[in-house]
Amino acid sequence: MIFMQQLINGIALGSVYALIALGYTMVYGIVQLINFAHGDIYMIGAFAAYYAANMFNLSFVPTLLAAMVVCALLGMTIERLAYRPIRKAPKITALITAIGISLLLENLVRIIIGPNPKSFPGLLTSKMVTIGNLEIDSLKLVTLGVSIGLMILLTFIVHNTKVGKAMRAVSQDKDAARLMGIDIDRIISYTFGIGSALAAVGGVLVGVLYQRIDPLMGIMPGLKAFTAAVLGGIGVIPGAMAGGVLMGIAESLTKGFISTKFSDAIAFSILIIILLFRPSGLLGKKSSEKV
């Protein structure tokens, strides 16, 4: 019974990781950039929702949309100003730029809003749902539902729409895509917009779930989500979901049955072991080596 309860705890926790990992993977899949600032965009999303809800008394859905718009615009702006000029540079250059953006966002928020944590408005009411002997917070079910829904939506966008087709073309070969008449800049901009909007969803849901937001809230979830995305096979949308949930379950079961002190170490050990057997992540495609 306890095992089942811990398993459910893990799935719920993992769906939060998955939600952030989806945005990570989305951007990575198209431009092969580890957007280190993703966790901070998630934080901005939470703060945008905080102000939207408090200043305009919006309810959950409009708040969420407002945060998504803010983050999408922010993500596209960052891409335009900081990532586009160095698209041709080595990948690691973009990584350092992303780290710079991350530091900048954290400290700007700290200066403008102050370092103290803010209490997020209770936009949704939480209830404990009992299934048999198991208890789960209804908000966690919402989070899980939203992440699965978004995963399906994203997969649909990428595979069945014109934009999605263009995205896949860009991810495979930018030059060939350009020759086919695809506006690469616009597609990459869209990708950042969508990825950042996803981060906003994560931020708002975590805000609703835990009701505490602060300028540094993006660092650890960002790292965990990045790990989850790699675990699932970075660039693969269902992989982010699988990686996130697996990370959550591993963490929860470790805390429940092995040791809370070593939970992070064990979560990373699992990641490493899985990568040793599947070097491109759980659902990742084996990259073909050109000779």
Partner 1 sequence: MKKKLLSLLTSIIVVAFVLTSCGTKQTSNNSGTTSSSDKEGDEIKIGAVIPITGDISTFGKSTKNGIELAVEQVNSAGGINGKKIKLIVQDDENKPEQGVAVLQRLINNDKVVGVIGSVSSKVSIPMAAVATQNKIPLISGASTNPKFTSEKGNEYAFRACFIDPFQGTVIAKFATENLKAKTAAVLYDVGNDYTVGLAEYFKAAFEKSGGKVTAYESYNNGETDFSAQLTNIKKNPPDVIVLTDYYQNVGLIAKQARQLGLKSVFLGGDGWDSPDLVKIGGTAVEGGYFCNHYSKDDTSPEVVKFINDYKAKYNEVPDALAALGYDAANMMFEAIKKAGSTDGEKIAEALKKIDLKAVTGEIKLDENRNPIKPAVMLKIENGKQVFVGKVNP
Partner 2 sequence: MSEKYKYLIILVASVIVYSIIQLLIYFGILNDYYVQIIIFIGINIILAVSLNLVLGITGQFSLGHAGFMSVGGYLSAIISIKLGLPFPIALIIGGIGAAIIGLVIGFPILRLKGDYLGITTLGFGEIIRVIFVNIDYVGGARGLMAIPKKTTFTATYIATIITVLVIVNIIRSTHGRALKAVREDEIAAQSMGIDISKYKLTAFVIASFFAGIAGGLYAHFLMYINPQSFGFLKSIDIVMMVVIGGMGNLFGSIIAATGITTILELLRELQDYRMIIFPIILILTMLYKPSGLLGSRDLSISRLYNKITRIFMKGGKVKDEIANS
Residues in the chain: 291
Strands 134-137, 118-119: pairing is: unpaired
To partner 2, the closest distance from the beta carbon of 199 in angstroms equals 19
CB nearer to partner 1: give 215 or 281. Answer: 215
- Print the binding letters for residues 107-126 with partner 1: x by CB under 8 A, - otherwise: x--x---xxxx-x------x
Phi, psi at 259, each rounded to 5°:
-165, 130
CB 241 within 8 A of CB 148: yes
CB 153 within 8 A of CB 201: no
180 binds, among partner 2, partner 1, none (CB under 5 to 8 A by kind): none
77 binds, among partner 1, partner 2, none (CB under 5 to 8 A by kind): none
- Print the binding letters for residues 221-260 with partner 2: x by CB under 8 A, - otherwise: --x--xx--x---x--------------------------
129 bridge partner residues:
136
Asked if 185 is part of the footprint of partner 1 (rule: CB under 8 A), the reply reads no
CB 281 within 8 A of CB 28: no
Q: Output b/e per residue, 133-169; b: 16+ Cβ within 10 A.
A: eeebbebbbbbbebbeebbeebeebbeeeeebebbeb
Q: How many residues bind partner 1 (CB under 8 A)?
A: 39
CB 210 within 8 A of CB 137: no
CB nearer to partner 2: give 59 or 107. Answer: 107
Of positions 93, 155, 263, 280, contacts partner 1 by CB under 8 A: 263
CB nearer to partner 1: give 79 or 251. Answer: 251
Interacting stretch for partner 1, rule CB under 8 A, among 41-49, 173-181, 204-212, 283-291?
204-212
Residues 25-44 that bind partner 2 (CB under 8 A): 28, 34
Binding site for partner 1 (CB under 8 A): 2, 5-6, 9-10, 12-13, 16, 107, 110, 114-117, 119, 126, 128, 135, 137, 206, 210-212, 214-217, 219-221, 251-253, 255-256, 260-261, 263-264
